[in-house]
Chain A
Amino acid sequence: MVKVRALGILAMAAALVCSGVSNPVQAAAVEQMQDRIHFLVPGGAGGGWDGGARGVGEALVKSGLLGNASFENMSGGGGGKAMVYMIDNARSNHGTLMINSTPMIIRGLTGEVKQTFRDMTPVASMLGDYAALVVHKTSPMNTFQDFLAAYKANPTKVAVGGGSVPGGMDHLVASLVLEAAGLDPLSVKYIPYDAGGTAMAALLSGEIQALSTGFSEAIEMAKAEEVKILGVTAKNRLSEYPGQPTFAEQGADMEFVNWRGFFAVPGLPEAELAEYEKILTAVLETPAWEEVRARNGWTTIHHTGADFVQFLEAQENELRELMTELGFL
Chain B
Amino acid sequence: MLEGILIGLSTAFSGFNLALVAAGCLIGTLIGMLPGLGPMSIIAIMIPIAITIGDPASALILLAGVYYGAIFGGSTSSILINAPGVASTVATSFDGYPLARSGHAGKALTVAAIASFAGGTIGAILLMIFAPMLSTVALLFHSAEYFALMVLGLSAVAAFGGKGNVAKALLMTLLGLIMATVGEAALFNAARFTGGLMDLQSGFGFITLAMAMFALPEALFLVLDPGRSSRSDTGGSKIGKLRISAAEGREIAPVIGRQSLQGFLIGVLPGAGATIASFLGYAVERNLATKEEQEMFGKGSLKGLAAPEAANNAACSGSFVPLLTLGIPGSGTTAILLGALLSLNVSPGPRLMIDEPDIFWSVIISMYLGNLILLLLNLPLIPYIAKLLAIPRNYLIPFILFFTLMGSYIGQNNPTELLILVGLGIAATAFRLADYPLAPLLIGFILGRMLEDNFARAMQIYDGPSFLWERPMTIGLLVLAVLLIFLPSYRQWRAQVKIKKAQERYDR
Measured CB to CB, the residues of A under 8 A from B are 2-3, 6, 9-10, 12-13, 16-17, 19, 21, 44-46, 50-51, 54, 58, 72-78, 80-81, 84, 110, 112, 156, 159, 165-168, 189, 191-195, 197-198, 200-202, 204-208, 220-221, 223-226, 295-297, 328
Q: Which residue of A lies closest to B456 (CB)?
A: A192
Residues of A within 8 A of B328 (CB): 197, 200-201, 204
Q: How many residues of B contact A (CB 8 A)?
A: 68
Q: Which residue of B lies closest to A294 (CB)?
A: B345
Contact yes or no, A81 B414, CB < 8 A = yes
Contact yes or no, B186 A112, CB < 8 A = no
Nearest-CB distance from A329 to chain B (Å)?
10
Kindly state the separation between the CA atoms of A77 and B40 in the bound complex, as whole angstroms. 21
Contact yes or no, B44 A189, CB < 8 A = no
Residues of A within 8 A of B141 (CB): 205
Kindly state the separation between the CA atoms of A16 and B41 in the bound complex, as whole angstroms. 10
Q: Which residue of A lies closest to B417 (CB)?
A: A76
Q: Which residue of B lies closest to A189 (CB)?
A: B460
Nearest-CB distance from B314 to chain A (Å)?
20
Nearest-CB distance from B36 to chain A (Å)?
9
Residues of A within 8 A of B43 (CB): 46
Interface string of B342-370 (1 = CB under 8 A from A): 11010111110000000000000000000
Answer whether residue B427 sits at the interface, using C-beta atoms and an 8 A cutoff.
no
Nearest-CB distance from A244 to chain B (Å)?
16
Given contacts A46-B336, A112-B191, A201-B270, contact A221 B201 (CB under 8 A): no
Instruction: Supply 12 A–B pairs (Cβ within 8 Å), ascending by A.
Output: A9-B31, A9-B34, A13-B37, A46-B332, A46-B339, A72-B413, A73-B411, A165-B185, A166-B187, A191-B461, A195-B335, A226-B327
Given contacts A167-B189, A189-B460, A328-B189, contact A202 B347 (CB under 8 A): no
Contact yes or no, A220 B342, CB < 8 A = yes
Residues of A within 8 A of B457 (CB): 191-193
Kindly state the separation between the CA atoms of A76 and B414 in the bound complex, as whole angstroms. 7
Contact yes or no, A110 B190, CB < 8 A = yes
Residues of A within 8 A of B387 (CB): 2
Q: Which of B311-330 contact A (CB under 8 A)?
A: 322, 326-330
Beyond A110-B190, A165-B187, A225-B350, 10 additional contacts (C-beta under 8 Å) are A2-B387, A13-B31, A73-B412, A81-B414, A156-B463, A159-B461, A192-B186, A201-B330, A221-B327, A223-B349
Interface string of B465-487 (1 = CB under 8 A from A): 00000000000000000000000
Nearest-CB distance from B37 to chain A (Å)?
6
Q: Which residue of B lies closest to A114 (CB)?
A: B198
Contact yes or no, B34 A10, CB < 8 A = yes
Kindly state the separation between the CA atoms of A77 and B184 in the bound complex, as whole angstroms. 10
Kindly state the separation between the CA atoms of A51 and B47 in the bound complex, as whole angstroms. 11
Find B347's partner among A51, A58, A220 (CB 8 Å cutoff). A220
Find A297's partner among B31, B184, B342, B351 (CB 8 Å cutoff). B342
Kindly state the separation between the CA atoms of A108 and B266 in the bound complex, as whole angstroms. 39
Answer whether residue B495 sits at the interface, using C-beta atoms and an 8 A cutoff.
no
Contact yes or no, B140 A205, CB < 8 A = yes
Nearest-CB distance from B38 to chain A (Å)?
11
Given contacts A76-B199, A165-B189, A197-B270, contact A12 B326 (CB under 8 A): no
Contact yes or no, A197 B335, CB < 8 A = yes
Residues of B within 8 A of A19 (CB): 45
Residues of B within 8 A of A200 (CB): 328
Kindly state the separation between the CA atoms of A58 and B391 in the bound complex, as whole angstroms. 44
Given contacts A17-B411, A165-B187, A195-B335, contact A221 B271 (CB under 8 A): no
Q: Which residue of A lies closest to B396 (CB)?
A: A2
Given contacts A189-B460, A192-B187, A205-B139, contact A198 B198 (CB under 8 A): no
Contact yes or no, B143 A74, CB < 8 A = no
Find A193's partner among B186, B388, B412 (CB 8 Å cutoff). B186
Q: Which of B22-36 contact A (CB under 8 A)?
A: 30-31, 33-34
